[in-house]
Chain A
Amino acid sequence: MRPILTAALVAAALPAGAAELRFASTTDPNTLDPNAGNSAPVFSLLGNVYEGLVRRGRDMSIEPALATSWEPIGDGEGWRFNLREGVTFHGGQSFDADDVIFSYERASSEQSDTSSWFAPVSEVIKVDDYTVDIMTSAPNPIFPDSIANWMMMDAGWAAENGAERPNIEQGNYATTNTNGTGPYMITERQPGLRTVLEAYDGWWGEDRGNVERAIFQPVQNSATAVAALLSGELDLIEPVPVQDANRVESAEGVDVLRGIEARVIMLGFPHDAEGLIAGGEGNPFTDPRVRQAVAQAINVPAILQTVMRGSAEPVAQLMGAGMRGYTQGLERPAYDQEAARALLAEAGYPDGFRFSLKCPNDRYLNDEAVCTAINAMLAQVGLEPVLETMPVANYWPTLRADDHDMYLLGWSPGTFDAEHPIRFLLATPDEEARLGSWNFGGYSNPRIDELLPMIQSEIDDTARQAMLDEVAQIQLDDVAYVPLYVQPLIWGVKEGIEVVQRPDNFLVLRWIEMG
């Protein structure tokens, strides 16, 4: 008989000043293998355990991690990374260039879910034990920005445990075990139930709070999580449902933290469809005036006020402020029902037309309610949307099968750079070139397709920004999408806990200070 120690007993045994954090989120990371799952829950947890060559700071800027510095090679042939010396993995192995080479091979392998990050890379060369050259096939100014989630693994540890490659479908040792260089080690893992992290004393860094031990438990039902926060059984939960935020705020002993997520919620159109699935002949959405009418018919501030209870920000481009390459000074088309009706009449649809509006109901914050509001607003200018909502497990297959007219989409740029949404959402879909893979409406604009490779390889920041501004302006004028708002982040914490909310919704344990 082996009793599992109670949390309270262990907390009592912690050294003075050290604290224990009990936190919950709706989703358990489906793996601990940093190359077997490319999703926020996985990287959020593993970001405390593994480290990359670079990492993101409190303001989301790239800062040194396992590389102390980096510089471009020659005329944009690649990047040279100078590695930090004296770093050890949790298992005691030392970190050097061989581990970088191994981590590259692993993360870019066919079995990996992160291989697309390395599409621009042609070769990785070990210069000496603490210098690595990453060569790119074309100049790539944002390469360091794109690898903040590329985590370094120990070559020897992986080989010993038969985890040289990730295994998404069968799992392997790295699915439930970790060996990183980060400030926390995972000491207990019960998938779907409980994950315990403990501070790693051998960490090289300085910047850390007083959380000595953290216990993560997924709590699926938000009402249960809110109750557990109020009763003091949890110290931090995310998310707090929008409709509960005010109630939690007014409760004693707990606080609500509000922030802005990097995710932009937008509406998409069926640009390349012959006809509408819920309508008659032809596709009115090919006319930019119709798309403009949709943009002007939607009262975004009203949606934010009622459905999101005021905790979100309207947006005029495919990403939020604060990202790299954000275009200053763009205005959303004003809400104007008269103008929308006039545009529809001008385009030849004075009486509107029927079309389907598809939405997920468990993917984004209050997504179904947002769509219901949009549905009503479009009806007010004479359009006849047919709203259909479904769970996300069905939603993506439906969009991929082109079984949609208008649809709701949220996008969070993994690189925190304006190039990301252009590559995935605006570029003409091309499987071979791995472009436009989430451009379900098949939007195609030759000028954007021409600009994208130039943006990707432009080293000069001013010239690059000019091109990004041009794309943002084209998207706004041509209404390829109707960007609506940036999704809010609402976390609930016990009073006296200092937490940094990152726009990618990652929880960084070393930035937490518990009172």
Chain B
Amino acid sequence: MLAYIIRRVFQSIVVLLVVGLVAFAMFRFVGDPIEQLLGQERTVQDVERLREALGLNDPFPVQYFDFLVRAVQGDFGISYRQSRPVAEIILERAPATLELALVSGLLALVVGIALGVFTAIRRDGWAANAIMSASLIGVSLPTFLIGILLIYVFGVQLRWLPTFGRGDVVDLGWWTTGFLTPSGLKSLILPSITLGLFQMTLIMRLVRSEMLEVLRQDYIRFARARGLSAKSVNFRHALKNTMVPVITVTGLQLGAIIAFAIITETVFQWPGVGLLFINAVQFVDIPVMAAYLMLISVMFVLINLIVDILYVWVDPRLRIDGRH
């Protein structure tokens, strides 16, 4: 077991290093940061001085190595665009993204499971059919369009909800939260629906098909034959057994929600790390891009690592294979 975990951790580190290398090899194709940093009246001397000071004259493997050496010490460099430490900027922006991801994830999970169960139990009812058809919209419409649509309906036409931003936030010192003010909560509604809609329909469809599968099993029929109430059969016996794949998928999707918040954050001007990343790409802010990509890959690698370890823990056969 220990040997397996050590091997998996080692593999994860290799994956991270490769991701970083690919990222650094790509950065020069994004453009030249000097063009963004200096104005049109710059001189050749200014350009050369800055290029040297930023280490842009070094070949990319050297730049990458420097980045790694500093990153393991917790120093992600200084943002070209904001002239401030990248770590500070990311810590400032992370709460916005994490709160949005949390609300979207919960929304997707709760509504997804509820609708999934409903459409499975009433599978021929008109309501269930309507929900199933509507869910196709969630799967097929691009996030960008859903966001703009919601803004126009609820922000511009009805004026119920704010069109952009995070509203008023409360500063707890190490974390800023929008959960404690009315405008912060109102601001969360549209972006979290936009971000969570795809996951919601995914979970709903997954729960429904798993549920239909389980409802056909013999033990459900026996449970019914024993005279148990429909509620007990559906929720205690059937739903419980559909949850294993749902939890796996949800875990993996949480990573996706955080990583793909970029589009939602851009549409709603949500001040999270996704928006920060988009700005960094446009400005060729290499330290911010590097830190963001590394953090996102660390996150994905960690999630996968935990899932792998859980599998081993759950399934003894993998442990035996691991010894070969």
Contacts and interface: CB of A to CB of B under 8 A. Distances in A.
Interface of A: 1-6, 30-31, 36-39, 110-111, 113-117, 167-172, 175-176, 191-193, 217-221, 223-225, 227-228, 230-233, 362, 391-394, 396-397, 412, 414, 424, 431, 434, 437-438
Contacts of B81: 30, 192
B39 A39 contact: yes
Interface stretch (B58-66, B99-107, B161-169, B200-208): B161-169
Nearest to B30: A393
B42 A3 contact: no
Contact of B44 (A230, A393, A437): A437
A37 B45 CA distance: 16
Given A175-B84, A227-B156, A168 B41 contact: no
A414 B148 contact: no
B282 interface: yes
A412 to B, nearest CB: 8
B267 A232 contact: no
Q: Which of A3, A172, A224, A394 has the most CB of B within 10 A?
A: A224
Given A4-B169, A233-B163, A169 B269 contact: no
A343 B98 CA distance: 63
Report, as a range, how many residues of chain B touch the other chain: 35 or more
Contact of B50 (A30, A169, A232, A437): A169
B82 A30 contact: yes
Contacts of A220: 266, 269, 275, 278-279
Contact of B269 (A39, A224, A396): A224
Contact of A169 (B53, B172, B180, B268): B53
A169 B53 CA distance: 7
B14 interface: no
Nearest to A434: B43
B193 interface: no
Given A3-B181, A192-B276, A171 B42 contact: no
25 contacts: A1-B171, A3-B170, A4-B169, A4-B171, A30-B283, A113-B46, A115-B46, A116-B42, A169-B50, A169-B78, A169-B80, A171-B84, A175-B82, A175-B83, A193-B271, A224-B164, A225-B164, A227-B163, A227-B164, A228-B155, A230-B156, A231-B162, A414-B40, A437-B43, A438-B40
Given A113-B39, A170-B83, A391-B31, A224 B151 contact: yes
B121 interface: no
Interface in B33-75: 35-46, 49-50, 53-54
B55 to A, nearest CB: 10
A417 to B, nearest CB: 13
Interface of B: 29-32, 35-46, 49-50, 53-54, 78, 80-84, 89, 148, 151-152, 155-156, 159, 162-165, 168-172, 180-181, 183, 266-269, 271, 275-276, 278-279, 282-284
Q: Which of B89, B151, B163 has the most CB of A within 10 A?
A: B163
A221 B269 contact: yes
Given A393-B31, A393-B35, A116 B82 contact: no
Contact of B282 (A175, A224, A391, A424): A391
Contacts of B269: 217-221, 224
A205 B267 CA distance: 41
Given A221-B269, A233-B163, 6 more contacts: A1-B171, A116-B43, A227-B152, A228-B164, A231-B163, A438-B40
Contacts of A223: 148, 151, 267
Contacts of B169: 4
A91 B2 CA distance: 62
B65 to A, nearest CB: 20
Contact of A168 (B40, B43, B50, B170): B50
Contacts of B159: 231-232
Given A6-B183, A171-B83, A192-B271, A1 B172 contact: yes
